[in-house]
Structure formats: structure tokens, C-alpha cells
Amino acid sequence: MNNDELDQVYTGMAQALTRVGESRAPLFLSILGLSLLQRLPDARDAMALLAQAEAASLSDPAVANYPASTSARPT
């Protein structure tokens, strides 16, 4: 996925979050996350992405800065 496609997906996700509302946003994100993690080839790749997302969430400031690559493993 290139940067333009990623931007389109981000915009679509933001719009979907707006439609489901703040109270259902955690459920939406959980369902989406599990659906996407299920597409990975194995649990190790999924766990690596979970660790990467957790680290990004805890950083100050929290920023999702993922490299544009096909690898699911953090760099």
C-alpha cells in the first residue's frame, strides 16, 4: 500500500469511527484489529504488530509511524 492509499484508508477509518460514535469506537477498533490480525500468516507476526502498536501508543507523543513495507515485523 502506498502513502496515498494509506491516507485513503485512514480517512475511511476516521469516517467509520465518526459514524459508529465515540461510545462504540473501542468495539469497532477491536473488531477491525482482530479481523486484520487474523489475515497474518502466523501468531508471531500478530504479536509483533501488537507490540509495535502498544509501544507507539505509549510514546510521547503517541504517533503511528510505520514504515511502508510488506513486512509485518517491527523495524
Specify the pTM.
Answer: 0.73
**Burial annotation 5-40 (CB, 10 A radius, 16+ → b, else e):** eeeeeeeeeeeeeeeeeeeeeeeeeeeeeeeeeeee
Task: Kindly report, residue by residue over 11-36, the tens digit of the pLDDT.
Answer: 999 999 999 999 999 999 999 999 99
Contact 37, 49 (CB under 8 A): yes
User: What mean pLDDT, rounded, does the chain reach?
Assistant: 86
- Report angle CA 64, 66, 72 to the nearest 5 degrees: 125
Q: 71 falls in which pLDDT band (50, 70, 90)?
A: very low
User: E strand or H helix at 74, and its extent?
Assistant: none
Q: 57 falls in which pLDDT band (50, 70, 90)?
A: confident
Average pLDDT over residues 34-53: 94
